[in-house]
Each structure stands twice: as C-alpha cells, then as structure tokens.
C-alpha cells in the first residue's frame, strides 16, 4: 500500500477544517474506511457506447452500497455524418437516475414531455417511478456518469418526474483542501426521494480533507483521475477504481502529489429485497 506524506497528518488528528474553508469543524469520532475495493470493467450499451461499468460489482456487493444500483462512466464518441450517437428510446421504472456530464453536451428527451440539453458540468435527475421512456444522444461526443438510486418499495409507483440542473446551479463547497461540487443533495437543485448526496470532489496534489458522510448512510468513492489515500488506514485508490465505504461519520482523504478527482456518493439504505429486470427495478 502506498502512502503519501505531504500534508498527511497522523491519525486521528487530521485537520477537519483549514484557514479559508467555509466548512465547520467535523468530528472525527468515527472516520470511515474502504470496505471493498473493486476494479471496473468495460461493457457496451445503447448504440454501442463504450461504458466503464462501476456498479454492479462482484466485490462491492449490493448490500454494501444499497440503495445504489448502477454506476456507469460512458463515452459517446463524436458522431458520424449520419447523426448523433447515444442511447435510443428505452423504458425504466422503480428508481431514480442522476446523470452528470464530465465533457460534451447531451440531449435528453422523455415520455413526460421534457426535451433538454445537458452541458459540461451540468446534471439531471430522472425519477422513473411508475415508468418513463427516455432517450439520450449527443452531437458532440460526451463523457458522463450515470447513477441509479433505488426507490423504497413505498415509493416505487410515484409519478415520473424530471429536473435539469445547469452547471451554474450546482454549488461548490470547500472541505479542508477539497472543493466539492454538489451534484445532488443538500444545496443542489437536484434532490432525490431517497435521502442522498453525490459530490464531484477535487483535491490538489498533497492536499487533505475530511468529508462528512452521514452516519447510517452507505457510501462509495469512484476515482475519476489521479490517486489518493482514503480512510484511517490510508488505503490507496487510483483512477478507475471504486470502493464501498465502511461505517462512520466522515471520510479522511489525502491526495497524491498529482492531485485527485473522485465522485463521493452516500445515501440512506432501504434494506429491502430488489427485483431487477433489465431496465426495471421492482
Ligand atoms: Fe436509460
């Protein structure tokens, strides 16, 4: 296991807040570790779109990440002269989808009458509920993340709904040396029925942070670029790796000298059986 020493304080006294941070002091009573580190694999879907499938994972089982069902990092290549590529119309029901664009633009159309254009740094929430068709295509080529969050049995039949968030609408908060863009959850215009947060976190080389992750929620980290060490045992994760988080109230992170960028998701688990049937989760 590699450890990075720059700015890395000895546990358990990692500073929760630094000068200039807007974040209140976070208790480090119970820092979370990494419970299951998983490599991701390449699959393809839609119009042959290459996808790095992060979840489901054999290593990070659903019980560890409930209510998160699926996480894909997809790349729609620039289109041929015949038109845009992407995901032709298809149905879903029983969960919520958060799409976050890392590069490019993407058109969204759905059976509830929404036609929108997502831009780099923007996001959308689709509550598929009792059922919805949608299509996604790109004229530019696009790199994005799609996250599926299960609905509780009591909410499976809610009416479908949709919300677009422009990049400027997503707040950025500082936690120590980290800058977290809040895609969903507190402060974001995108809220899920299942209590959840979803952050795009950037830490410059050698920087340290303690990120709050509510007690009782289950969480994950997926590294987009660079590397860092996470948790009280300073386990290394690098680009393309995923980890389920152990129990606790916060996540200590120290970035590698080249810095790191990762997605941090956390949500209240439903602890209910899941009946998964392709695009439907009942
Ligand atoms: Fe879909």
Question: What is the DSSP secondary-structure string of 107-136?
Answer: EEEETTS-EEEE-TT-EEEEE-TT-EEEEE
What is the model's pLDDT at position 281?
Answer: 98
Q: Which domain holds residue 190?
A: 34-271
Please, what is the Cα angle at 69 between 1 and 255, to 5 degrees? 30
Distance from Cα 17 to the centre of ligand 1, integer Å: 39
Residue 238: inside a domain, yes or no? yes
Handedness of CA 148, 114, 102, 198 (dihedral sign): negative
CA 272 to chain centre: 22
> Half-sphere exposure (CA, 13 Å, Cβ side) for 80?
4
Distance CA 227, CA 215 (A): 25
Distance from Cα 187 to the centre of ligand 1, integer Å: 26
Q: What is the pLDDT of residues 74-83, one digit of tens each?
A: 998 887 665 5
User: How many domains, in total, are found in the chain?
Assistant: 1
Distance CA 261, CA 255 (A): 9
Residue 121: inside a domain, yes or no? yes
Distance from Cα 90 to the centre of ligand 1, integer Å: 6
CATH number, position 192: 2.60.120.10
Distance from Cα 163 to the centre of ligand 1, integer Å: 15
What is the model's pLDDT at position 73?
Answer: 96
Residue 266: inside a domain, yes or no? yes
Distance from Cα 87 to the centre of ligand 1, integer Å: 7
Distance CA 91, CA 38 (A): 29
Residue 10: inside a domain, yes or no? no
With tokens 């941090």, the residue in question is 264
The H-assigned helical ranges of 29-143 are 62-65
3 pLDDT above the threshold of 50: no
CA 125 to chain centre: 12
Distance from Cα 91 to the centre of ligand 1, integer Å: 7
Q: What is the pLDDT of residues 214-261, one digit of tens each?
A: 999 999 999 999 999 999 999 999 999 999 999 999 999 999 999 999
How would you write 165-178 as a 3-class SS string? ECHHHCCEEEECCE
State the CB neighbour count (10 A cutoff) for residue 176.
24
* pLDDT-above-90 percentage for the chain: 79
With tokens 């779109």, the residue in question is 49
Residue 43: inside a domain, yes or no? yes
Residue 233: inside a domain, yes or no? yes
Mean pLDDT taken over the chain: 90
Contact at 8 Å (CB) between 33 and 245? Answer: yes
Distance from Cα 281 to the centre of ligand 1, integer Å: 12
Whole-prediction pTM: 0.89
Distance from Cα 135 to the centre of ligand 1, integer Å: 7
Distance from Cα 110 to the centre of ligand 1, integer Å: 10
Residue 149: inside a domain, yes or no? yes
Nearest to 130 by CA among 111, 154, 158: 158
Distance from Cα 219 to the centre of ligand 1, integer Å: 23
DSSP assignment of 174-213:
EETTEEEEEEESTTSS---SS-EEEEEEEE-TT-EEEEE-
What is the model's pLDDT at position 7?
Answer: 38
Nearest to 82 by CA among 162, 137, 161, 39: 137
Q: What is the pLDDT of residues 157-214, one digit of tens each?
A: 999 999 999 999 999 999 999 999 999 999 999 999 999 999 999 999 999 999 999 9
Distance CA 123, CA 126 (A): 10
Distance from Cα 126 to the centre of ligand 1, integer Å: 9
Q: What share of the chain is helix, strand, coil (3-state, %, to 5)?
A: 5, 55, 45
Distance from Cα 35 to the centre of ligand 1, integer Å: 29
- How does 187-202 read in b/e, with b if 16+ C-beta sit within 10 Å? ebebbbbbebbbbbbb
What is the model's pLDDT at position 85?
Answer: 79
Residue 25: inside a domain, yes or no? no
């Amino acid at each position: 296991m590699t450890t990075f020493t720059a700015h890395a304080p000895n546990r358990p006294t990692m500073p929760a807040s630094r000068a200039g941070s807007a974040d209140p002091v976070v208790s480090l009573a119970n820092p979370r570790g990494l419970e299951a580190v998983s490599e991701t694999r390449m699959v393809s879907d839609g119009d042959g779109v290459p996808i790095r499938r992060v979840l489901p994972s054999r290593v990070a089982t659903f019980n560890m990440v409930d209510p998160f069902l699926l996480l894909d990092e997809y790349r729609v290549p620039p289109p041929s002269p015949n038109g845009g590529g992407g995901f032709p119309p298809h149905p879903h029901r029983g969960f919520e989808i958060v799409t976050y664009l890392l590069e490019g633009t993407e058109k969204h159309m759905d059976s509830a009458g929404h036609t929108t254009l997502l831009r780099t740094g923007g996001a959308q929430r689709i509550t598929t509920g009792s059922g919805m068709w949608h299509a996604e295509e790109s004229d530019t080529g696009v790199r994005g993340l799609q996250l599926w969050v299960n609905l509780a049995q009591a909410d499976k039949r809610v009416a479908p709904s949709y919300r677009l968030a422009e990049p400027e609408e997503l707040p950025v908060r500082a936690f120590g040396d980290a800058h977290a863009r809040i895609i969903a959850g507190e402060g974001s215009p995108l809220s899920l029925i299942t209590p959840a947060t979803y952050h795009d976190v950037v830490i410059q080389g050698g920087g340290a942070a303690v990120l709050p992750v509510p007690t009782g929620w289950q969480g994950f980290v997926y590294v987009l670029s660079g590397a860092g060490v996470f948790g009280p045992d300073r386990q290394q994760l690098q680009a393309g790796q995923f980890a389920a988080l152990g129990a606790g109230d916060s996540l200590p992170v120290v970035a590698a000298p080249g810095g790191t960028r990762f997605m941090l998701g956390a949500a209240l688990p439903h602890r209910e059986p899941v009946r998964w049937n392709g695009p439907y989760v009942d």
